[in-house]
Amino acid sequence: MAEFLREKAAVAEREHLPGSFVQVVADFLAAGGKRLRPLLCITGWHAAVGERTPPPAVIRVAAALEMFHAVALIHDDVMDQSSLRRGEPTVHRALTGQRIASGDSHESAERFGVGGAILVGDLVLTWSDELVHTADLTPGELSGLLPLIDMMRAEVMYGQYLDLAATGSPTDDVEQALTIARYKTAKYSVERPLHIGAVLGGAGHDLLDALTDYALPLGEAFQLRDDLLGAFGDSAATGKPRMDDLRDGKHTALVALALRAASGPSADLLRDLLGRPDLTDAQAERVRAVLIATGARDDIEDMIARHRDRIGELLSARGAIHPGALPVLHHLADSATRRSA
């Protein structure tokens, strides 16, 4: 990925194109992240062929998934008006900051930041495609892969749209929150990366189905853990302000369960405070107290534990999954459901 970005920077310089465009992406990708999707892609390949060093083409496609994820995050941060990501300023904030530093008015700098971040996302989407197109796959492999990638992209966009539409006015509809989690996280972040790697390893339907059975509960548990971290996590560890989910009024399963269980003043408090852009620390603490008192937090922990158990059973039965891939799949299930960042 670093090499690909260096090439892009060289092209920009040669053609007198704005290099800041490339730099902001390089900075964003260098700031880290869990690299979950590339790891899952390579694990999918292992699940098909056993534990061998993956060929460069598989690594390049794995990098394309990380690049695509950067697009989703860059655009998501514009939509959520988030200021921090991975402990660093988000792309639109970084661009806004550059313009303020060079003497622009706040309004004009903000406009440039938002527009620039939309364009940076669109450009990185093309780069992600380019990584796949230049991965030295056979034309047959490439045409087998592209429909999967198209599906993955459409799924995440639908998930994000459902999420956006529900944000600001959370309800007690737990099913709706889980549908959002399925599209945004379970399918996009877990199932498709595994499938993409597995298909590159020549997987048949049995293996793809087994990976789906693994991916959907894992992805849901991953999102439920994310929701808990969004409300109760330590922002120094997660790299994003922990009040954002509450301030935005995110429609999570956690909040939906609390709204379902709460009555009288507790319910009023949730409806009144969730989604307030000016939520104070003290108000956030009161929301958290209701999330705990209604049992919603414990219920979510139980759901996560049940998913973890189910994944454990599935991996013991294993079926079509190559045994060489099992340790990583176990490890991922464990860390994704227990993580604190």
Residue 134 near a copy of itself by CB under 8 A? yes
For residue 174, give both structure tokens: 């737990």
**Chain residues 53-72 in contact with a copy of itself, contact rule CB under 8 A:** 71
Q: How far is CA 304 from CA 4, 128, 218, 287, 300, in A?
A: 38, 32, 9, 22, 6
Interface segment toward a copy of itself; rule CB under 8 A; list 158-166, 224-232, 306-314, 318-326: 158-166
Cα 79 to chain centroid distance, Å, stands at: 15
Size of the site for a copy of itself (CB under 8 A): 49
What type of residue is 32?
Answer: G
Identify the residue among 2, 31, 79, 305 touching a copy of itself (CB under 8 A): 79
**Least separation, in Å, of the C-beta of 287 and a copy of itself?**
19
Residue burial 227-260, b: 16+ Cβ < 10 Å; e: rest: bbbbbebeeeebbbebbbbbbbbbbbbbbbbbbe
Identify the residue among 6, 10, 31, 143 touching a copy of itself (CB under 8 A): 143
Residue 179 near a copy of itself by CB under 8 A? yes
Interface segment toward a copy of itself; rule CB under 8 A; list 83-91, 137-145, 186-194, 316-324: 137-145
Residue with tokens 């260096």: 6
Cα 235 to chain centroid distance, Å, stands at: 17
Residue 16 near a copy of itself by CB under 8 A? yes
Nearer to a copy of itself, 20 or 326 (CB): 20
Q: How many CA atoms lie within 13 A of 65 on its CB side?
A: 31
**Least separation, in Å, of the C-beta of 137 and a copy of itself?**
9
**Concatenated DSSP letters of 10-79:** HHHHHTT--THHHHHHHHHHHT----HHHHHHHHHHHHHH-S-PPPHHHHHHHHHHHHHHHHHHHHHHHH
What type of residue is 299?
Answer: D
Distance (Å, rounded) from C-alpha 1 to C-alpha 33?
14
Distance (Å, rounded) from C-alpha 117 to C-alpha 87?
18
Identify the residue among 81, 280, 335, 340 touching a copy of itself (CB under 8 A): 81
**Least separation, in Å, of the C-beta of 58 and a copy of itself?**
18
**Least separation, in Å, of the C-beta of 81 and a copy of itself?**
8
Q: How far is CA 148 from CA 96, 131, 155, 158, 198, in A?
A: 36, 15, 11, 15, 11
Distance (Å, rounded) from C-alpha 209 to C-alpha 192?
12
**Least separation, in Å, of the C-beta of 160 and a copy of itself?**
5
Identify the residue among 129, 172, 173, 301 touching a copy of itself (CB under 8 A): 129
Identify the residue among 2, 10, 13, 18 touching a copy of itself (CB under 8 A): 18
Nearer to a copy of itself, 147 or 265 (CB): 147
Nearer to a copy of itself, 276 or 339 (CB): 276
**Site for a copy of itself, rule CB under 8 A:** 12, 16-18, 21, 71, 75, 78-81, 108, 111-112, 114-116, 118-123, 125-127, 129-130, 133-134, 138-140, 142-143, 146-147, 150, 153-154, 157-158, 160-162, 164-165, 168, 179
